[in-house]
Amino acid sequence: MINPFASSTNPPNAPEEERVFDKGRPGTFAASLSHWDHPRTALGVRIMADHAVEHGYSREAVLASTGLSPEELDSSVTLVDARQEITATRNFLTLMKNRPGLGLEVGRKFHLTTYGQLGFALLSSPRTVDMTHTALRLLGLTFAFSTVTAEITPDGRYATRFSGDGVPEDVRQFLIERDLAATVTTHNELFAGDSTSVPLLSVRSQFAGVAGHPLFDVPVEFGAADTAIVFEREYLTQALPQACAETAQECISLCERILSERLDRRGAAAAVRARLLRLGGRDDGIVGAAQALHMTDRTLRRKLTAEGTSYRRIVDDVRAAVARELLEVDQLTATETAHRLGFGDLSSFLRAQRRWEQTVPGFRRD
C-alpha cells in the first residue's frame, strides 16, 4: 500500500543502490505526490506582502479579494488555501510590475524555519538523500506549487526538477521560480550557509529572464529546456552536519499528523482524496467511501457537488497520480500498475489512461 505522502514505495531500509540509485541506472528516484491545491500556513502570503511593503506598497493591497486581513498573516494558526495565495500573487505581481527575477528574489526569503516542524525534519536528516525523500514526501506542508522530481541524470548528476502542471499561466513563472530559489536556499541552510559544502553545478529556468540573478554564486540559465537544480551525484550520500535520525523520525511523525489533519479539514473532497491515497489508489466505490466518512452516499454526492467536483473526478485524479509514481518512480510494468490500482485487467487500465489524458491536467502517457 502506498503511503499517501510517500515519495517512493521503496522501504526506508532498502539497500542504498535500490533505494537511491536504482542499481546504478539513471532515472527518477523520488517524486512529489500531493497536488499543489492544499491548505498551507499564511507565511507564504506574508513573505510576499512584506516584500511589497519594502517597496512602498501595503499589505492590504496584496490581500485584496483574498478574504484575509493583515492581522491574520501574523497568526501561526491561520491557514490559507492555494486559491487565496494565487489571488495574493496576482495582486503582488501587478503591484511589482511582474518584473523579471521577482520569483527568485522572494524565494530567497523562504528559510528552513519557514516550514516549521518540516524544517527541523530536514535539518536533522542523516544524509542529503534522506532529506530529499522527506521533503518530497511531505511537500504538502510547504508553499510549493511545483510538481517536483529528483533523479539521477544520464550523465550521472543529481537533479531536482520543477514543473508547473495545472498552475495558472499568469502566475506560473513567479511561483515556480520562487520554489526554485527556496529549494536552493534550503540546501544552503542545511550546511549553515557554507556554500562550499553544497556542490551546486547549475540552476536552470525554462522561463525568460535577464542576467544578474545568481543563486549562491551560480548564475541562473534562463530559457532552458526545463527548470532544475543540478548537483554532483556524490552530494546525495553526504552526511548533514546536524543529523539526528531519532529527531528526524519524531518530526516526520508529527508532520504526517499535521498534514493529515489539514487535509481532513478541507472538506469532503479532501477527505475522499486522502482516503484514496491511503488505499494506494484502489477504489471501493462511493458507498464504501461514504461509510468510511460516516455519511450516506447521497450526502457525500451532495457535498462533493457543492464543492464543485465529483467522486469519479477525484478517483481519476488520484489514480492518475499514483499510476505515474508506480510507472515512473518504481518502474513497474503497465500490468503490475493495473493490478496495484485494482483494475480488473490491463485493457481497463489502458482505457483509463486514455481518459485521464483528456480529463486530468498534466497527465500524459509516455
C-alpha cell at 165: 502542471
Collapsing DSSP to helix, strand or coil, 177 comes out as: helix
The strand pair at 147-152 and 220-221 is best described as unpaired
- Side chain identity at 210, as an amino acid letter? V
Cα–chain center distance at 155? 26
What are the residue boundaries of the structural domains of the chain, listed by start? 1-258, 267-359
Cα–chain center distance at 257? 17
C-alpha cell at 257: 499528523
Q: Tell me how far CA of residue 254 lies from CA of 80, 138, 228, 248, 354, in angstroms.
A: 20, 11, 30, 10, 39
> Alpha-carbon distance 40 to 42, whole Å?
7
Give DSSP secondary structure letters for 76-137. TT-EE-HHHHHHHHHHHHHHTTT-TTHHHHHHTT--GGGGTHHHHHHHT-SBHHHHHHHHHH
Predicted pLDDT at 87? 94
Predicted pLDDT at 38? 81
Predicted pLDDT at 290? 87
Predicted pLDDT at 365? 65
Nearest in space to 32 (alpha carbons), one of 115, 172, 150, 120: 150
> Alpha-carbon distance 9 to 7, whole Å?
7
Nearest in space to 42 (alpha carbons), one of 67, 19, 25, 17: 67
Length of the chain equals: 366
The tens place of each residue's pLDDT in the chain, 366 residues long, gives: 233 333 333 434 443 434 444 445 788 888 886 678 788 999 999 999 999 999 999 999 999 999 999 999 999 889 998 889 999 999 999 999 999 899 999 999 999 999 999 999 999 999 999 999 999 989 989 999 999 999 999 999 999 999 988 889 999 999 999 999 999 999 999 998 787 889 999 999 999 987 777 777 888 999 999 999 999 999 999 999 999 999 999 999 999 888 877 766 667 888 888 788 778 889 999 998 888 777 889 989 999 998 888 999 999 988 888 888 788 777 889 999 999 999 989 999 999 998 888 877 666 665
| CATH code 1.10.10.60 for 267-359 | yes
